[in-house]
Amino acid sequence: MADVLDQDDVDALLAAVGGAEQAEEVEDLFGESSQGIEHKEVTVYDFKRPERVSKDQMRALEGMHEAFARNFGASLSAFMRTIVEVKIVDTEQLTYNEFINSLPNPTCINVLSIRPWEGSVCLEISPLIIFPFIDRLLGGANVDSFIPQRPLTVIEQRLVSRIIERALKLLEDTWSSLGVENLELSESESNPHLIQMVAPNEVVVVITFELRFSGKSGTMSLCIPFATIEPVLEKLATQSWLSYRKKDHDVNYGYSVAKNLKGAKVNLRAFLAETAISMGQLMELKEGDIIQTEKPANSELIIQIEGKNKFAGRIGQFRGNRAIRITRLADPDERL
Residue 72 has a pLDDT of 92
What are the residue boundaries of the structural domains of the chain, listed by start?
A: 7-38, 55-261, 268-329
What pLDDT was estimated at residue 238? 47
Query: Strand 182-189's sheet: what is its strand order?
Result: 85-95, 203-213, 216-225, 120-125, 108-115, 182-189
b or e along 231-263 (b: 16 or more beta carbons within 10 Å of the residue's beta carbon)? eebeebeeeebeebbeebeeebbeebeeeeeee
pLDDT digit string (tens) for 17-68?
A: 655 444 454 455 445 544 555 556 666 655 555 567 778 888 888 888 898 9
**Residue 124 is inside which H or E element, if any?**
strand 120-125
Q: Which fold has domain 268-329?
A: Surface presentation of antigens (SPOA) (2.30.330)
For 109-119, what is each residue's pLDDT tens digit? 999 888 887 78
> What's the pLDDT score for residue 239?
44
Candidate ranges 86-90, 193-197, 224-228; pick with highest mean pLDDT? 86-90
Average pLDDT score over residue span 61-83? 89
Alpha helices, DSSP H, located in the chain:
7-18, 23-30, 34-38, 55-80, 96-101, 127-137, 154-175, 226-229, 238-247, 253-261, 279-284
Longest Cα–Cα distance in the chain: 125
pLDDT of amino acid 20: 47
CATH of 55-261, one of 3.40.1550.10, 3.10.129.10, 3.40.50.1820, 3.40.50.150: 3.40.1550.10
pLDDT single digits (tens) 205-223: 999 999 998 888 899 999 9
* Range 177-206 average pLDDT: 87
What pLDDT digit, counting tens, does each position of 252-304 carry? Answer: 666 777 777 777 888 888 888 888 888 988 888 888 888 888 888 788 888 88
pTM over 0.75? The answer is: no
Higher per-residue confidence, 34 vs 331: 331
148-157 confidence digits (pLDDT tens): 888 899 999 9
Average pLDDT value over all residues in the chain: 80
Distance of CA 237 to the CA centre of its chain: 22
Same fold for the pair 55-261 and 268-329: no
